[in-house]
Amino acid sequence: MAQIPVTLKVNGRARRVTLEPRTLLVHALRENLGLTGTHVGCDTSQCGACTVLINGQSAKSCTIFAAQVDGDEIATIEGVATDGVLHPLQEGFWEEHGLQCGYCTPGMIMASIDLLKANPDPTEQEIRDGLSGNLCRCTGYQHIVNAIQYAARKEMSQ
Amino acid sequence: MTEAQTLPKMVGERVRRREDPRLIQGRGTYVDDIKVAGMLHLAFKRSDMAHGRILSIDTSAAEAMEGVDLVLTGAQLAETLGPMPILTPFPAPAHHSMATDTVRYSGEPVAVVVATDRYIARDAADAIVVEYEPLPAVVDPDRALAGDPAVLFPDFTNILGQTGTNVALYVPAGTGVDPVAGTMDNTAIERAFDEAEIVISQRMWNQRLAPSAMEPRGVIAHWEPGKETLTVWSSTQNPHMERNYLCGQFGLGQDQVRVIAPEVGGGFGAKINIYGEDYVACAVSRRIGQAVKWIEDRSEAFVATTHGRDIVADLEIAAKRDGTVLGLRTRLIADIGAYEMLFTALIPTLTNGMLSGVYNIPAIRSELYEVFTNKTPTDAYRGAGRPEGIYFVERGMDMLARELGMDPAELRRKNFIQPEQFPFLTQAGNLYDSGNYEPTLDLALKNAGWEALKRERDAARAAGRIVGLGIAFYVEICGIGGWEHASVLVQPDGRVTATTGASSHGQGHETTFAQLLAGQFGVPIEHITIHHGDTQIVRAGTGTFGSRSQVAGGTALMNAGEKVKDRMAEFAAFMLGAEAETQADELEFIDGRIQVAGSPAISRSFAEVAAFAYLGGGNAAAAGIPYPDASSGLSEEAFWEPAGATFPFGCHISMVEIDRDTGELKLLKLVAVDDCGTIVNPLIVEGQVHGGLAQGIGQALMEGVVYDEDGQLITGSFMDYAMPRASDFPRFELDNTVTRSPHTPLGTKGIGEAGTIGSTPCLVNAAVDALSPFGVKHLDMPLRPEMLWRMIQGGAS
Paired strand residues for B734: B672
Task: With CB atoms and an 8 Å threshold, state whether B692 touches A132.
Answer: no
Of A116-125, B241-250, B615-624, B635-644, which range is least confident? Answer: B615-624
Task: With CB atoms and an 8 Å threshold, state whether B214 touches A49.
Answer: yes
Question: How large is the C-alpha radius of gyration of chain A?
Answer: 16
How high is the mean pLDDT of chain A?
Answer: 97
pLDDT of residue B2: 39
C-beta neighbour count of B491 within 10 angstroms:
16
> Hey, what long-range contacts does B177-185 have (CB within 8 A, 24 or more apart)?
B177/B365
pLDDT of residue B226: 96
* B119–A contact, CB cutoff 8 A: yes
**Distance between CA atoms of B548 and B559, rounded to whole angstroms?**
16
Residues 64-103 of A with CB under 8 A from B: 76-78, 80-81, 86, 90, 93-95, 97, 99-103
Task: With CB atoms and an 8 Å threshold, state whether A80 touches B25.
Answer: yes
pLDDT over threshold 60, residue B797 = no
> B304-328: per-residue pLDDT in tens?
999 999 999 999 999 999 999 999 9
* A113–B contact, CB cutoff 8 A: no
Spell out which residues of chain A touch residue B725, defining contact as CB-CB under 8 Å: 128, 131-132, 134-135, 141
* B525–A contact, CB cutoff 8 A: no
pLDDT over threshold 80, residue A128 = yes
Residues 258-277 of B with CB under 8 A from A: 263-266, 268
pLDDT of residue B1: 37
Q: What is the DSSP string of B472-537?
A: EEEE--BS-S--EEEEEEE-TTS-EEEEESS--SSS-HHHHHHHHHHHHHT--GGGEEEE-SBTTT
* A110–B contact, CB cutoff 8 A: no
Q: Which of A46, A49, A104 is opposite residue B719, by nearest beta carbon?
A: A46
Which candidate in B214, B503, B670 is best for mutational testing of the A interface (most A CBs within 10 A)?
Answer: B214
Using CA of residue B436, residue B437, residue B440, residue B445, what is the dihedral sign? negative
Using CA of residue B534, residue B294, residue A51, residue B716, what is the dihedral sign? negative
Among residues B586, B33, B495, which one has the least CA distance to residue B260? B33
What confidence category does residue B5 fall into, taking pLDDT thresholds of 50, 70 and 90?
low
Spell out which residues of chain B touch residue A23, defining contact as CB-CB under 8 Å: 119
**Distance between CA atoms of B31 and B217, rounded to whole angstroms?**
9
What confidence category does residue B499 fall into, taking pLDDT thresholds of 50, 70 and 90?
very high
pLDDT of residue B796: 56
> A43-96: per-residue pLDDT in tens?
899 999 999 999 999 999 999 999 999 999 999 999 999 999 999 999 999 999
Task: With CB atoms and an 8 Å threshold, state whether B723 touches A135.
Answer: yes
* B505–A contact, CB cutoff 8 A: yes
Judged on CB neighbours under 10 Å (0-12, 13-18, 19+), B784 is middle
Q: Closest approach of chain B CAs to the CA of A78, in angstroms?
A: 6
Mean pLDDT of B667-689: 97
* A18–B contact, CB cutoff 8 A: no
Closest residue on chain A to B16 (Cα): A95
Mean pLDDT of B643-659: 97
Q: Closest approach of chain A CAs to the CA of B329, in angstroms?
A: 35
**Distance between CA atoms of B767 and B381, rounded to whole angstroms?**
24
Task: With CB atoms and an 8 Å threshold, state whether B24 touches A109.
Answer: yes
Helix axes B754-771, B682-701, angle to 10 degrees: 40
Please state whether beta strands B665-675 and B733-736 pair in parallel, antiparallel, or not at all (unpaired). parallel
Closest residue on chain A to B716 (Cα): A44
> ∠ CA(B781), CA(B690), CA(B476), 5° rounding?
70
**CB-CB contact of B447 with B746 (8 Å):** no
pLDDT of residue B617: 78
* B692–A contact, CB cutoff 8 A: yes
> B356-410: per-residue pLDDT in tens?
999 999 999 999 999 999 999 999 999 999 999 999 999 999 999 999 999 999 9
Helix, strand, coil shares of chain A, percent, nearest 5, are 40, 20, 45
Mean pLDDT of B621-638: 83
Task: With CB atoms and an 8 Å threshold, state whether A102 touches B20.
Answer: yes
Say which residues have a Cβ less than 8 Å from residue B771's Cβ, sequence separation at least 6: B466, B468, B658, B779, B788, B791, B792, B797
Spell out which residues of chain B touch residue A135, defining contact as CB-CB under 8 Å: 214, 718, 723, 725
What confidence category does residue B563 fall into, taking pLDDT thresholds of 50, 70 and 90?
very high
Mean pLDDT of B82-97: 96
Q: Closest approach of chain A CAs to the CA of B715, in angstroms?
A: 13
Using CA of residue B433, residue B438, residue B441, residue B444, what is the dihedral sign? negative
C-beta neighbour count of B150 within 10 angstroms:
16
What confidence category does residue B580 fall into, taking pLDDT thresholds of 50, 70 and 90?
confident
Task: With CB atoms and an 8 Å threshold, state whether A49 touches B24.
Answer: no
Spell out which residues of chain A touch residue B686, defining contact as CB-CB under 8 Å: 97, 143
pLDDT over threshold 80, residue B630 = no
**Distance between CA atoms of B647 and B740, rounded to whole angstroms?**
10
* A131–B contact, CB cutoff 8 A: yes
Spell out which residues of chain A touch residue B699, defining contact as CB-CB under 8 Å: none
Spell out which residues of chain B touch residue A144, defining contact as CB-CB under 8 Å: 726
> B195-216: per-residue pLDDT in tens?
999 999 999 999 999 999 999 9
pLDDT over threshold 70, residue B3 = no
Mean pLDDT of B691-715: 98
Listed in order, strand segments (DSSP E) in B544-605 are 587-590, 593-596, 599-605
How high is the mean pLDDT of chain B?
Answer: 95
Question: How large is the C-alpha radius of gyration of chain B?
Answer: 28
Mean pLDDT of B513-521: 96
Which candidate in A93, A125, A137 is best for mutational testing of the B interface (most B CBs within 10 A)?
Answer: A137
Q: Is the pTM of this model over 0.90?
A: yes
Say which residues have a Cβ less than 8 Å from residue B43's Cβ, sequence separation at least 6: B112, B113, B115, B118, B121, B122, B124, B125, B294
Mean pLDDT of B215-223: 98
pLDDT of residue B6: 61
Spell out which residues of chain A touch residue B727, defining contact as CB-CB under 8 Å: 125, 128-129, 131-132
* B299–A contact, CB cutoff 8 A: yes
Dihedral pair phi/psi, residue A145, rounded to 5°: -60, -45
Chains A & B: contacts with CB separation below 8 Å:
180
Count Cα atoms within 13 angstroms, Cβ side, for B247.
16
**Distance between CA atoms of B372 and B351, rounded to whole angstroms?**
18
Paired strand residues for A4: A19
* A24–B contact, CB cutoff 8 A: no
Dihedral pair phi/psi, residue B288, rounded to 5°: -100, -10
C-beta neighbour count of B419 within 10 angstroms:
14
pLDDT of residue B795: 67
**CB-CB contact of B620 with B538 (8 Å):** no
Spell out which residues of chain B touch residue A134, defining contact as CB-CB under 8 Å: 725-726
Q: Which of A76, A101, A140 is opposite residue B214, by nearest beta carbon?
A: A101
Closest residue on chain B to A142 (Cα): B731
Count Cα atoms within 13 angstroms, Cβ side, for A102.
27
Which candidate in B23, B119, B731 is best for mutational testing of the A interface (most A CBs within 10 A)?
Answer: B23
> B431-485: per-residue pLDDT in tens?
999 999 999 999 999 999 999 999 999 999 999 999 999 999 999 999 888 999 9
Spell out which residues of chain B touch residue A82, defining contact as CB-CB under 8 Å: none
Task: With CB atoms and an 8 Å threshold, state whether A42 touches B725.
Answer: no
Mean pLDDT of A89-117: 98
Please state whether beta strands B40-46 and A57-60 pair in parallel, antiparallel, or not at all (unpaired). unpaired
pLDDT over threshold 80, residue B239 = yes
Paired strand residues for B42: B114
**Distance between CA atoms of B572 and B595, rounded to whole angstroms?**
8
pLDDT over threshold 70, residue B772 = yes
pLDDT of residue B581: 78
